[in-house]
Amino acid sequence: MPQNSFKAGILGTGSFLPENRLTNADLEKMVDTSDEWIVSRTGIRERRIADASMTTSYMATEAAKKALIDANISAKDIDLIIIATVVPDMNFPSTACIVQANIGADNAAAFDIEVGCSGFIYGLSIAKQFIENGTYKNILVVAADTLSKITNWEDRNTCVLFGDGAGAAIVGPVENGYGILDTYIGADGKGGKHLYMPAGGSRMPASEDSVKNKLHTIHMEGQEVFKFAVKVMNTATIEILDKCGLKPDDIDIFIPHQANIRIIEAGMKRLKLTNEKVFINLDKYGNMSAASVAVALDEASKEGMVKKDNIILMVAFGAGLTWGSTVIKWNK
């Protein structure tokens, strides 16, 4: 194709969610909490939980298969696989390599990125560059996490928040004027101490004490993360709209990270968006890390909420601390 005659866009999407549901009523039997407390502070009513044998790569594979079908292409057509996860099957090989083998994408390069809940936006940003500079034609971006496997189920402040799931997108060339108009990504490593898993790496290798003290689970300073999220939701939104030369009124669909209903409502208020323009599935799935925005995009598309020519704004934030936003003119 001639230079600049096309943009990178999303050719197909897919998602996978475990069947097991963990409701707030179930959590009331596990820790000192209540349905009223969880709903009023988070908006979450239930979440999906992978069983003991279900891996992150399994969920990613199932989501990828659905995205390939939706895009009407073969796994052999995939040139690159990017998996965003903080709960890989193992430290190495990468989950992307495992998924490559699972789907038979023999012609694809493959790697993982670890950006917390911002992972899907980061993945789209990377894929956009490779497509638009002509390096690759079809890229599979998957966001998948089994957060239940690194959750401390005795910590009522964190165990009510998280769920498992996977979302996928095939990124490829689309007609100029459509697709991923731009992306904005960032990080503030000084805030990493507010959301992290202490053990399991070179700083604190696994030991009897690290396991006994539950150091292989999510540790979070909720108030600090909340303040960061509210602030960065606004900043990331303003930055990406400015880059695209758009105003809040131009947004047709807003798909925010599904972390907390109060954060989402704060974003809606700043953008002056009505409920009809905002996609929320937080109540059903909780916070699925990077998979949250990916699953929401797939569901919004499948439910007919997203239509051709719609302007979609997606924003996410997560461990690192990191953030990302993107604007897409839907081409499907």
Annotated active-site positions, please?
A: 117, 257, 287
User: Nearest-5° angle of CA 19, CA 24, CA 25?
Assistant: 100
Q: How far is CA 319 from CA 86, 135, 177, 261, 312, in A?
A: 9, 30, 33, 18, 24
List 9's β-bridge partners, or say none.
Answer: 172
Q: From CA 307, how far away is CA 284, in angstroms rounded?
A: 23
* Whole-angstrom distance, CA of residue 221 vs CA of residue 195: 7
DSSP 141: E
Q: Please name which of 151, 164, 154, 231 lies closest in space to residue 197, comparing C-alpha atoms.
A: 151
CB atoms within 10 A of CB 34: 12
Closest CA to 312 of 237, 219, 204: 237
Sign of CA dihedral 324, 325, 331, 332: positive
- CB of 14 closer than 8 Å to CB of 298: yes
Give, in degrees to the nearest 5, the angle at Cα 269 between 265 and 270: 120
Compute φ and ψ for 109, nearest 5 degrees.
Answer: -75, 165
Long-range contacts, stretch 275-281, CB < 8 angstroms, 24+ apart? 277/251, 277/252, 277/253, 278/253, 278/254, 279/253, 279/254, 279/255, 279/305, 280/43, 280/256
